[in-house]
Amino acid sequence: MEIPMEGLPKIFKIRQKIDAPRLGDVEKRVKDLLDSFELARKVKKGERIGITAGSRGIRDKPLVLRILISRLKDLGASPFVVPCMGSHGGGTAEGQLEMLESLGITEKSVGAPIVSSTEVQEIGRKKFGTPVYVDRNLCGA
């Protein structure tokens, strides 16, 4: 089947440039930000805390995760990482682990277990009935 070209919108090639300001000392900035959250008042000893790790857009992500995880462990928590992405990694638990690894995010680099699964649990519904799902591993945290 041939598609007629008349009537189709014109297409232009564009290039998007996103400003990515440098934070300077990333470690200090992350630690200062964590201090502002007053985690010591909120985190309980032995508490399991899930931390999501996505596949897009954060520079120095392994470092940021390692600092956060270290702080939570210092407070007596048991943090773990959960991949947070849609179709990246082929939408499989194994593929998502591979995607994180390609970004330098491993159990060794962040200092915590990475728990990957495609099993979800419905945790509620939006105003018009659309279900809201979350990774099943996060439900017990």
Helices 26-36 and 61-74, interaxial angle, to 10°? 40
| CB-based contact 78:51 (threshold 8 Å) | no
Identify whether 53 is part of a domain.
yes
Residue 30 has, within 13 A of its CA and on its CB side, a CA count of 17
Q: Please identify which residue in the block is written with the tokens 């400003």.
A: 19
Residue by residue, pLDDT tens for the chain (141 residues) are 677 777 777 888 899 988 877 778 999 999 999 999 999 999 999 999 999 998 887 889 999 999 999 999 999 999 999 998 877 888 899 999 999 999 999 999 999 999 998 888 999 999 999 999 988 888 877
Give every CB contact of residue 40 below 8 A, 6+ residues apart in sequence. 75
State the total domains in the chain: 1
Identify whether 17 is part of a domain.
no
Identify whether 66 is part of a domain.
yes
Question: Given this model, what pLDDT does residue 58 score?
Answer: 80
Structure tokens at 8: 């189709």
How far apart CA 99 and CA 55 sit, in angstroms, is: 7
Identify whether 13 is part of a domain.
no
Question: Given this model, what pLDDT does residue 123 score?
Answer: 93
Domain enclosing residue 82, as ranges: 26-139
